[in-house]
Amino acid sequence: MIIPSSFTQLQDALSRHLATHPASVLSPTLPTLFSLLRNYTSNSADWSTFAHADAAKQYTRNLVCEVPGLFNLLLLVWTPGEQSPVHDHADSHCIMKILQGNLIEKRFAIPQHPGLEGPLHQTSCKNFKRDQVTYMSDSLGLHEISNPSPTEFAVSLHLYTPPNAALRGCHVYDQSSGEARHVLQGAYDSVVGVAAN
C-alpha cells in the first residue's frame, strides 16, 4: 500500500487507482481509496493553495482535480458555526477526510415518501477530527455536515466517484418536513487553486 507523503502524491495515487478501476466495479476497490486517504497526514502547507474561504457562505467548494465521468476531488472550507443542508449523494460514493478542525456528521434515513412522513429520522451523529476518514453513499442514507467551532474554519477533502452530483445535481431535504427538492451544484469557488471570478 502506498503511503502518500504529500498532497500531490495523494492526488496522483487516487487518480491512478481510479483510472484502472471503472466505477461499475468500484465497490471492491473502496478499501484501497479509503486507505490512501487515511494514510495521508494532513499538512496545510500541502493544500492551503486550494483552501479558498468565504465567511459569507456556509462553505466553499474548491475543485482540486477531476477526471470527467470518473471522479472529482473537492476541498471544502467550512465557515465557523455553519452546516450543509441534509442531502443525498446522487448514487455516487463519497469518501471524506478531515484536514483541519473537526466536523459533525448527522445521518438520516431516506424517506420512502418525502414530505409525507413528517420529520426526517436521525440515525447517527459522529464527530470527526483531523485526519479521520469516513464514507457515505445513498445506501447509508442522507447526511448533514457541520462545523461546530464558533471561531475556526474547518477543512475537509471529498472524493466523489462517479461525480454524479457535479453532472446532474442532488436532492436536499427539509429536516422538519422531510420534503425533498432537486438542486444543481453551483460553480466552484476555485478550480485547481485559482479563485473563481
Selection from 132, 142, 69, 66 nearest residue 96 by Cα = 132
Q: Tell whether residue 121 is among the known ligand binding residues.
A: no
Q: How many C-alpha atoms does 60 have within 13 Å on its Cβ side?
A: 23
Task: Spell out a b/e string for 16-47, using b for 16 or more CB atoms within 10 Å of the CB, else e.
Answer: eebeebebeebeebeebbbebbbbbeeeeebb
Q: Helices 7-19 and 30-39 sit at what angle, rounded to 10 degrees?
A: 170
User: According to the annotation, is 89 in a ligand binding site?
Assistant: yes
Q: Is 17 annotated as a binding residue?
A: no
Residues 6+ apart with CB under 8 A from 16: none
Count Cα atoms within 13 angstroms, Cβ side, for 19: 8
Cell for 58? 456556509
Contact of 169 with 182, CB cutoff 8 Å: yes
Query: Residues marked as binding?
Result: 87, 89, 143
Query: Residues marked as binding for Fe cation?
Result: 87, 89, 143
